[in-house]
Amino acid sequence: EGNFIARIEDEAGKIPLNKLVDGEEYNEEIRTMLDRLLAQPEFGLKDRQIDEIIDAIKDWIDTDENTTGYGAESNYYESLDSPYQAKNAPFDCIEELLMVKGITKEIFYGTKDKPSLAKYVTADSEGLININTAPKIVLRSLSDDISSELADRLDEYRMEKSHDVSGNQWYKQVPGMENITINQNLITVKSTYFKIVSTGKISNMSRTVTGIVATGDQAQVAIIKWRQD
């Protein structure tokens, strides 16, 4: 007898890593948001670690071989015991982060006491954060003024079915958020890309299939990519 478990994740609720670079330079809005995320106390990272991770992600994505700050290009990766080159192209999947300088398995997967970075960043997004589905730690990354308490209030407000959350400005209705402005170029209330993770088990065997799907008009769904682990 077999069974399977599936979960769906909204990729628009995560920070879009492939938008970190604009040409060969930083997209400062995304950089700031990623910095806020990594600086959350849950991750327990030091300022130097955060700078190294962000610079290294930029260098992994941008097309040149010029090292950014504390980042790394091919000359660094080629010096490792198992050498490889910087990709110098967008992430195809978020697991590529494990190849980036500064990203340890503990940071990527999380530990008993610390969250998984992989839950809050994406390689598959149009670039806007859906404030209706983003985890609270991502909501806190949208502004220096959004505290843990305010993120809790935002979450409670959007969960209440009687509240209208169909527009980008609904957060202004939340007590304490009246005078806080979130950059409208960063947020949305719609989502296109979703991750589906399905694990099937039979006897002592199990297989996990992970797919990215995109929704379109008239409830159409297209499979963008998938892999079997």
Q: How confident is the model at residue 148 (pLDDT cuts 50, 70, 90)?
A: very high
State residue 199's pLDDT score: 95
> What pLDDT, on a 0 to 100 scale, did the predictor assign at position 146?
98
Tokens of 183: 């950059």
Mean pLDDT over 34-41 rounds to 98
**Helices 28-38 and 47-61, axial angle in degrees (round to 10):** 140
When pLDDT is cut at 50, 70 and 90, the band that residue 171 belongs to is: very high
Domain count of the chain?
1
**pLDDT for residue 54:** 99
Average pLDDT of every residue of the chain:
96
- Residue 220: pLDDT band (50, 70, 90) is confident
Tell me the pLDDT band of 131, cut-offs 50, 70 and 90. very high
CATH of the domain at 30: 1.10.40.60
Mean pLDDT of 41-65: 98
- What pLDDT is attached to residue 2? 85
Q: How many CB atoms lie within 10 A of CB 15?
A: 24
Q: Which domain holds residue 12?
A: 2-228
Average pLDDT on 166-180 reads: 96
Question: What pLDDT is stored for residue 137 in this prediction?
Answer: 98
Query: Three-class SS string for the chain?
Result: CEEEEEEEEEHHHCEEHHHCEECCEECHHHHHHHHHHHCCCCCCCCHHHHHHHHHHHHHHHCCCCCCCCCCCCHHHHCCCCCCCCCCCCCCCCHHHHHHCCCCCHHHHHCCCCCCCHHHCEECCCCCCEECCCCCHHHHHHHCCCCCHHHHHHHHHHHHCCCCCCCCCCHHHHCCCCCCCCCCCCCEECCCCEEEEEEEEEECCEEEEEEEEEEECHHHCEEEEEEEEC
User: Is the pLDDT confidence value at 217 over 80?
Assistant: no
Q: How far apart (Å, rounded) are the C-alpha atoms in residues 30 and 127?
A: 9
Rounded to two decimals, the pTM is 0.92
Q: What is the pLDDT of residue 204?
A: 86
**132 has a pLDDT exceeding 80:** yes
